[in-house]
Amino acid sequence: MSRRPFIAGNWKLNLGPAAAAALGAELKVRLAARGDIDVAVFPTALSITAALQATEGAGISVGVQNVYVEATGAFTGENSAAMAREAGCTYALLGHSERRHVFGESDALIGQKVHASLAAGLLPMLCIGETLPEREAGQVEAVIHRQLETGLAGLSEAQVGTVTLAYEPVWAIGTGVTASPEQAQEVHAFIRSWLRERYAPWIADETRVLYGGSVKASNAAELLSQPDIDGALVGGAALSAVSFAGIVAGALA
Ligand code: 13P
């Protein structure tokens, strides 16, 4: 089973509309001849329109970094999945480590956001991953199991089949410390076997599981050559068109 590689850039709280437009325009040029690879970027909500306009016709999907569980109402400061869809988003990034650990989002809330995103026609990209103390305590599989079980709770098989997963060990995010290809592959293989047992072989075979955490052009090819790593979710190195294009090239290597 071959899964089409998927490279996604999480711009986090960087790049206002002008900077997002500039990076989008550069990506459009640099990724024009990238071949058979899916690419998405996740700007801050205020820069979604600018990113869409700058990348128009380039086959680059745009996603929202977070959504609220309700579609409308008295929820000052939030963005809904329906509005992100209307603004032109394809994906919703959910359960990112910073949402979990800086903003205190629970597994259950993230699961509600998965449902809200699907109801609005957005494709969820669900992030999971353990902290360093959890890894040191031998709890990696237990944490991943819990985050998947609750994050995907109540979805039909067909709905689970639309979800992209991103394994991002918290200790590797923004630290320059990348999981070794073997460490990442071990967890990706666990995720795939969990999908097979919990749902169905076709879901395990078709679900793309991206790796995130200090991915750079210099380490992308080795990580992406692992059998169960189908792409990358990139933070810091996604803020430069040169390094992001280098990672996309690594997916072809
Ligand atoms: P870095 O690539 O900066 O480590 O960030 C990873 C990440 O959090 C992507 O969502």
**Domain CATH number, residue 40:** 3.20.20.70
Extended beta strands in 25-104, E state: 38-42, 60-64, 91-94
In a domain, residue 122? The reply is: yes
Q: Say if residues 8 and 40 touch (Cβ distance below 8 Å).
A: yes
CA of 74 from ligand 1 middle (Å) equals: 32
Question: Does residue 224 lie within any of the structural domains?
Answer: yes
Q: Are strands 60-64 and 164-167 parallel, antiparallel or unpaired?
A: unpaired
Atom of ligand 1 nearest to the CA of 175: 4
**What pLDDT score was predicted for residue 2?**
79
- Using the mean position of ligand 1's atoms as its centre, give its distance from the Cα of residue 98 in Å: 10
CA distance 64 to 55: 15
Contact 250, 217 (CB under 8 A): yes
pLDDT value, residue 34 = 87
Instruction: Please state the pTM of the whole predicted model.
Output: 0.97
Question: Residue 15 — left, alpha, or beta (φ > 0 → left; ψ -120 to 50 → alpha)?
Answer: left
Number of domains observed in the structure of the chain: 1
Per-residue pLDDT of the chain (253 residues; tens, 9 = 90+): 579 999 999 999 999 999 999 999 999 999 998 889 999 999 999 999 999 999 999 999 999 999 999 999 999 999 999 999 999 999 999 999 999 999 999 999 999 999 999 999 999 999 999 999 999 999 999 999 999 999 999 999 999 999 999 999 999 999 988 999 999 999 999 999 999 999 999 999 999 999 999 999 999 999 999 999 999 999 999 999 999 999 999 998 7
Exactly one of 96, 98, 130, 188 is catalytic; name it. Answer: 96
Whether 1 is in a domain gets the answer: no
Identify the domain containing residue 202 by its residue range. 6-251
Residue 113 CA to residue 116 CA, distance in Å, equals 5
If you measure from the C-alpha of residue 16 to the centroid of ligand 1, how many angstroms do you get, rounded to a whole number?
A: 18
Question: What's the confidence (pLDDT) of residue 1?
Answer: 55
